Amino acid sequence: MQLRYTFRVYPTPGQQEALSRAFGCARVVFNDALRARQDARASGEPYPSDAALSRALTAAKKTPERAWLGEVSAVVLQQALADLNAAYRNFFASVSGKGKGPKVSPPRYRSRKDHRQAIRFTANARFAVTEGGKLRLPKIGDIAVRWSRELPSAPSSVTIIRDAAGRYFASFVVQASDQPLPEVDTEVGIDLGLTTFAVLSDGTTIATPRFLRRAERRLRRAQKALSRKQKGSCNRNKARVKVAKAHALVRDTRLDWAHKHSTTIIRDNQAVYIEDLCIQGLARTRLAKSVHDAGWGLFTRLLAEKADRYGRYFGKVDRWFPSSRLCSVCGMVDGPKPLSVRTWTCRCGAVHDRDRNAATNILAAGQAERRNACGVQVRPEPVPAPRGEAGTHRQATTV
């Protein structure tokens, strides 16, 4: 499987200028190729092929208007064309219904005003990690890297990213093998929420960190300072970077927190079951800020990826499953309950904590679905017909 390892890099001022030049050249090549395809569509001609766009790029380097494209690595420019081709493939797959997930829009022009820029070097560029631990890039130089871990194998490509906060990162793509963990006997169901981030079927609770809520005061002050600056001034750019750094801190803290908790859950359980929430729908309600702050989608994605890598099972329960209204003792489905009701009593006399009961039901439903997916017989066996009705069978029913 392919993994991505990202490290912070610290280019010198001269290297930053060279990277900015590479960002601009890749952006121009992408926009030129996109314009060529749009012009072909407007005139009714077929789209230029990938090879035709590559030949056009080679010819453009020989013209006075685009001669400066030769100042950067040719691999960076070819990867910009590859990004455009991938964007078109995703768009056509989405239009034809072959692509999974939400609808994909057609490619758009890249703007030099975007504060996040990226370029990619493949193995053809002959980038390397020096003995001193620096990243050597063609026509840029040796860039200092802050290594937090060793790469499991030789990287096949590296992407240099400059984010909105002005930080630089090197993202390596490496080939890694699965690392199955020793099998354990425990399985767990997880109920996600806002008051409490997660309640596990074994009784463990994970408090809601509220990273965005806790940083709102600092973000508000930084945003107000930005709004007072004159547009186009250097002070406004400095204030913009402060706002971007504040948001980056919230994002990095949330990601680190999600990594730690997801790793703990995957390590301690052989199977993990979670409810398939409609996060996009919940993000359009009055709870939108809290839903985005919780980061349910990020947490669920990390659980699925780590379960696949470490040999664990990860399953989702249907979002319409009445986990909060179903009694985990007798199996009776009670009536609807507002979010303010945190405990309720079933007719059988069982007193349930809303979240703990939902996690228990999610665990049971996930286990049943897993047995069904593995080919276990779940349909009742047919009951033989009474005498006198030979050749017919009656299906067993449950009242």
Give the catalytic positions in this structure: 191, 275, 355
Q: Which residue type, as a one-letter code, is found at position 263?
A: T
d(CA 219, CA 31): 34
d(CA 157, CA 2): 11
Measuring CA to CA, which residue among 114, 161, 195 is closest to residue 5? 161
Residues 116, 126 contacting (CB under 8 angstroms):
no
The kind and range of the H/E element at 206 are strand 205-207
Q: Which residue type, as a one-letter code, is found at position 387?
A: R
The kind and range of the H/E element at 238 are helix 234-268
The kind and range of the H/E element at 315 are strand 313-317
What is the longest distance spanned by two Cα atoms in the chain?
97
d(CA 186, CA 125): 48
| Residue linked to tokens 């030099």 | 112
Q: CA dist 396 to 378, 390, 393, Å?
A: 12, 17, 9
d(CA 360, CA 188): 8
Q: What are the structure tokens assigned to 278, written together? A: 């409609």
Question: What is the secondary structure of 342-377 as a DSSP string?
Answer: -EEE-TTS-EEEHHHHHHHHHHHHHHHHHHHHTT--
